[in-house]
């Protein structure tokens, strides 16, 4: 939960004359007293709230009742950029590590990041649509403990294998997925830019049974996805369609986000669906691809 949500609650309690304190906030949001006190300090220092502690009530009020919280609405895209920068600064090595870490913490605050962070974050990489799409699918597979069938480029050769992905990591200026092969106790790193394609299977693995090193994870990509409107055969039980973020927009109709058109069209060939309504350019591209496939099946060669 964003600290701004807690700050708005704290502000409301003050205006209602309840004299809230860090203990009240900690109990309300099930966080530590230390975290609650940091939120109060943020309200005082960063948002310049005229907080005044009243010992009689063991809580706070506003010394100036005309104070209002600044408007700090941030879009999801802007949050992605802030999270990216926060994680970048968090990994940055310099002669002034404390100052850099303070910058990282401040950016994370604006992005709504908690101190402990999310369990599974996407790695850093340049804004390559194919990499973003792959990392999104892997993130879904990690969250749902799905076994992934990987088409991978290794030492100049193309191989296919099944993996149990556990972490998305950034090491040595490259991005990887840390994964086990089913039945293996050895944790391996697979470079994202060497993944040709992947397919999320219906099989699941038990993460508690896996052993291996734990790798540090990092940030989120800041690139706006494309959206396809697709009519499916049945309702989705979750907010994802084979690893692609999906939102219901009507009866059996979903807006599905994707970054790489070629990868998404591969999924359309593999998965059941009823109708592709938009965007027009994707329909045209997919139709053209299907026509080429039909010509090959009829024995025709491209001119």
Lowest average pLDDT, out of 140-144, 185-189, 249-253, goes to 185-189
pLDDT bucket at 83, cuts 50 / 70 / 90: low
pLDDT of residue 19: 94
Q: Of 102-106, 153-157, 207-211, 227-231, which one has max mean pLDDT?
A: 227-231
Q: Enumerate the domain spans of the chain.
A: 3-62, 76-111, 129-209, 226-297
pLDDT of residue 15: 92
CB atoms within 10 A of CB 260: 18
C-alpha to C-alpha distance for 171 and 189, rounded to whole angstroms: 10
Lowest average pLDDT, out of 9-23, 198-212, 249-263, goes to 198-212
pLDDT bucket at 189, cuts 50 / 70 / 90: confident
CB atoms within 10 A of CB 16: 9
Indicate yes or no: pTM above 0.95: no
pLDDT of residue 117: 43
Residue partners of 135: CB distance under 8 A and separation at least 6: 122, 123, 125, 168, 175, 177, 192, 221
Higher-pLDDT residue of 120, 66: 66
pLDDT bucket at 120, cuts 50 / 70 / 90: very low
Lowest average pLDDT, out of 60-64, 78-82, 210-214, 289-293, goes to 210-214
Q: Which CATH class is domain 129-209?
A: mainly beta
pLDDT of residue 198: 92
Percent of the chain with pLDDT over 90: 24
Give yes or no for a contact between 175 and 185, defined as CB atoms under 8 angstroms apart: no
Higher-pLDDT residue of 215, 281: 281
Q: Are both 3-62 and 129-209 of the same fold?
A: no
C-alpha to C-alpha distance for 269 and 296, rounded to whole angstroms: 16
- Residue 132: pLDDT above 80? no
E strands, 112-237, in order: 146-154, 157-171, 174-180, 187-191, 195-204, 226-231
C-alpha to C-alpha distance for 161 and 153, rounded to whole angstroms: 11
Fold of 3-62: Arc Repressor Mutant, subunit A (1.10.10)
């Amino acid at each position: 939960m964003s600290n701004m949500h807690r700050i708005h609650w704290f502000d409301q309690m003050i205006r209602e004359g309840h004299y809230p304190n860090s203990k009240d906030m900690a109990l309300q949001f099930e966080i530590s007293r230390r975290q609650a006190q940091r939120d109060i300090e943020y309200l005082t220092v960063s948002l310049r709230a005229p907080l005044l502690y009243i010992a009689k009530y063991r809580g706070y009020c506003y010394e100036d009742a005309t104070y209002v919280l600044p408007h700090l609405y941030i879009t999801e895209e802007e949050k992605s950029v802030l999270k990216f920068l926060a994680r970048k600064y968090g990994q940055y090595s310099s002669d002034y590590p404390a100052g850099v870490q303070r910058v990282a913490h401040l950016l994370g605050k604006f992005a709504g990041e908690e101190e402990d962070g999310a369990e599974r974050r996407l790695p850093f990489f340049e804004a390559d649509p194919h990499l973003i799409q792959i990392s999104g699918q892997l993130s879904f597979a990690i969250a749902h403990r799905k076994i992934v069938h990987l088409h991978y480029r290794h030492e100049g050769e193309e191989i296919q294998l099944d993996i149990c992905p556990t972490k998305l990591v950034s090491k040595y200026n490259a991005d990887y997925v840390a994964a086990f092969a089913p039945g293996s106790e050895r944790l391996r790193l697979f470079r994202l830019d060497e993944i040709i394609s992947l397919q999320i299977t219906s099989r699941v693995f038990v993460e508690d049974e896996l052993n291996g090193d734990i790798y540090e994870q990092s940030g989120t990509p800041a690139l706006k996805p494309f959206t396809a409107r697709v009519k499916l055969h049945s309702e989705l039980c979750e907010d994802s369609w084979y690893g692609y973020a999906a939102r219901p927009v009507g009866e059996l109709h979903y807006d599905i986000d994707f970054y790489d058109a070629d990868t998404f069209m591969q999924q359309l060939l593999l998965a059941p669906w009823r109708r592709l309504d938009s965007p027009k350019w994707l329909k045209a591209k997919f139709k053209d691809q299907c026509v080429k496939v039909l010509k090959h099946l009829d024995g025709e060669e491209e001119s």
